[in-house]
Amino acid sequence: MTTNISRRFRGKVRNDYLDLIMKFPLTSIRSNDDLEAAQKVMDRLLTKGDVSSGEELYLDALSDLVAAYEDDHYAIPSASDADMLRHLMEAKGVNQAELHRSTKIPKSTISEILNGKKPFSRQIIVTLASYFGVEKSILAHNL
């Protein structure tokens, strides 16, 4: 039975992919040494410039394995509501007064959020998401 996936692995694509598999097999990364070796392989491919379709498929798979290991061992904590609001304000180039004027969010509420004293409410999330043009889910991670 031929699948869409197996159709991608023909000719040069298959040869390039399997050549990389033979040099550095795609298996679970279980240590920092494995991680370092995988990153070196990825770096070589990325600095090469133009990669073939087979190399790109291999790179995608290897980067998924690296990401899985890093998620388990080097998890990055979610940004606080204060950090998120500060970042969005800097990115848009607005200060607290402009945010207040544009959204009608009370100045005291903006200040309390930025000082980590108050979390986003559902209504604040809706207002900020609309103002900054981002998905509500980005701001709702701490609810």
Q: State whether 108 and 130 are in the same domain.
A: yes
Co-location of 69 and 117 in the same domain:
no
CA distance 66 to 122: 35
Q: pLDDT at position 10, please?
A: 79
pLDDT in tens, 15-40: 999 999 999 999 999 999 999 999 99
Would the pLDDT of 41 be above 70?
Answer: yes
- Rounded CA separation 108/105 (Å): 8
Instruction: Specify the pLDDT at position 2.
Output: 54
Task: List the domain range (segments joined by +) for residue 114.
Answer: 81-139
In which band, very low, low, confident or very high, does the pLDDT at 77 lie, cut at 50, 70 and 90?
confident
Cα separation, 128 vs 108, in Å, equals 15
Residues 79-118: pLDDT tens digits? 999 999 999 999 999 999 999 999 999 999 999 999 999 9
104/135 same-domain check: yes
C-alpha span between 55 and 45 (Å, rounded): 8
- 3-state SS string over 18-47? HHHHHHCCCCCCCCHHHHHHHHHHHHHHHH
Average pLDDT over residues 138-142: 84
d(CA 4, CA 137): 33
Q: How many structural domains comprise the chain?
A: 2
- Whether the per-residue pLDDT at 142 is higher than 90: the answer is no
Q: Provide the whole-model pTM.
A: 0.58
Residues 19 and 52 in one domain: yes
Q: Do 66 and 86 fall within a single domain?
A: no
Residues 97 and 61 in one domain: no
Which pLDDT does position 127 carry in this prediction?
Answer: 97
